[in-house]
Amino acid sequence: MTVQPARLTPAPLIGADDIPYLPRGVRLADDRVRGIRVLQAPERAMQLDAIGDAILGELDGVRSMGAIVRDLAARYNAPPDQIAGDVRDFLTGLIERRMVFVRERP
Residues of this chain that interact with another protein (CB under 8 A) are: 13, 23-26, 29, 31-34, 38, 40-43, 45, 95-98
CB of 19 to another protein, least distance (A): 15
β-bridge partners, 30 = 37
Q: In terms of CB distance, is 60 or 96 closer to another protein?
A: 96
CB of 70 to another protein, least distance (A): 24
Q: Which DSSP category does 10 fall into?
A: P
CB of 17 to another protein, least distance (A): 17
Quickly list DSSP for 40-52: EETTEEEEE-HHH
Task: Quote the strand ranges of 16-82, DSSP E.
Answer: 19-21, 27-31, 36-41, 44-48
CA distance readout (Å), 84 to 7, 10, 91, 92, 104? 19, 15, 11, 12, 18
Q: In terms of CB distance, is 4 or 77 closer to another protein?
A: 4
Radius of gyration of the chain from its Cα atoms, rounded to whole angstroms: 15
Q: In terms of CB distance, is 29 or 78 closer to another protein?
A: 29
Q: In terms of CB distance, is 7 or 34 closer to another protein?
A: 34
CB of 95 to another protein, least distance (A): 5
